[in-house]
Every structure is written in structure tokens, then in C-alpha cells.
């Protein structure tokens, strides 16, 4: 397929292009992190747990912009490999608290240099100024402010 034919097939859908970009960047980061045995999604979860531990599953899912079911699925190998532990919340036994184990902290530290290299490679390949602007735009996209504006505009469009 020629480049001209392929370019005519590019999606105009913002969501599709964001998902494609996300999958590509995840593939690149996964390859960079491979020596640590972690995927970028797993490293992101470990890093978020470290920042907010102990944390409840719901709060962790919210911080990661994930649904609780998807998070529970992604947590299973981290629990199995003893990188995180879960237990009942002493304040509300219906909730589960998540903590990093010593092994989890060590695995996160092991992946730090690999992650830093991936971050540097992204910034050099994309451009430092553009990378900062992209992070700011993505911060807006994951905000409640954007979700509310999206829903309001969608409601107007349905009228």
C-alpha cells in the first residue's frame, strides 16, 4: 500500500487517534521496560500506589482513570508476584487496601532507570517543548472539567 493510499485511510476520530497513539507509546515503553519484567501499565500502578499508599481500589482506579474491574484484573499478576498486597480496610471492612511490598518497591526502583531512559527518548524524539505541551493537554483531557464540558456539548448536540 502506498503512503498516499494509507494517508487517505487515517481516521478523523479524535478517540481513535488517541487510542492508536496510546497503544504505540505503550509498545515503546513496554520494550524499554522489558529488562525489568514490568509493562508500563504495571509500573504506572506501582508508582501510583507508592504515591498514595495505603489506598483503596476505588481511589486507585480513579487516580489512574480506570474502572475498578479493569484495575482488579491488572492487579492480579502484581499480587501473584508479591509486588503488592491487599487487605481489608480497618475503617471499612467492605473495602480493600492496597500497599506496595518491599519486593514491589525494589521492582519499582529497578525499573526507574529504564523508565527515565524511555522518558528521555520520548522527549528527544517528540521535542521537549512539545512533550510538555502534550502532557498539559492530556492533563486537561483526563480532568473532570473536560468530562463535564464534553457531556454538556454532547447533550446540546443531541437536541
pLDDT at residue number 7: 59
pLDDT at residue number 6: 54
pLDDT at residue number 11: 78
CB atoms within 10 A of CB 42: 23
Identify the three-state secondary structure at position 12. coil
Walk me through the domains of the chain, giving residue ranges and CATH numbers: 15-111 (1.10.10.10)
Q: What is the DSSP code (8-state) at residue 35?
A: G
DSSP strand E in the chain: where?
55-56, 84-89, 92-100
- The string of pLDDT tens digits covering residues 30-39 is 999 999 999 9
Query: Higher model confidence: residue 8 or residue 4?
Result: 8
Q: Residue 1: pLDDT band by 50, 70, 90 thresholds? A: very low
Amino acid at each position: 500500500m502506498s503512503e498516499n493510499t494509507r494517508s487517505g485511510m487515517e481516521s478523523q476520530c479524535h478517540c481513535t487517534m488517541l487510542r492508536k497513539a496510546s497503544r504505540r507509546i505503550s509498545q515503546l515503553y513496554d520494550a524499554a521496560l522489558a529488562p525489568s519484567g514490568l509493562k508500563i501499565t504495571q509500573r504506572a500502578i506501582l508508582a501510583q500506589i507508592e504515591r498514595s499508599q495505603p489506598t483503596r481500589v476505588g481511589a486507585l482506579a480513579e487516580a489512574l482513570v480506570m474502572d475498578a474491574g479493569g484495575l482488579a484484573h491488572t492487579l492480579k499478576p502484581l499480587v501473584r508476584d508479591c509486588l503488592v498486597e491487599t487487605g481489608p480496610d480497618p475503617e471499612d471492612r467492605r473495602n480493600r487496601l492496597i500497599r506496595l511490598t518491599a519486593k514491589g518497591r525494589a521492582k519499582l526502583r529497578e525499573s526507574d532507570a529504564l523508565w527515565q531512559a524511555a522518558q528521555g527518548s520520548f522527549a528527544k524524539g517528540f521535542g521537549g517543548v512539545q512533550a510538555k505541551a502534550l502532557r498539559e493537554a492530556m492533563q486537561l483531557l483526563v480532568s473532570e472539567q473536560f468530562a463535564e464540558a464534553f457531556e454538556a456539548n454532547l447533550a446540546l448536540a443531541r437536541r
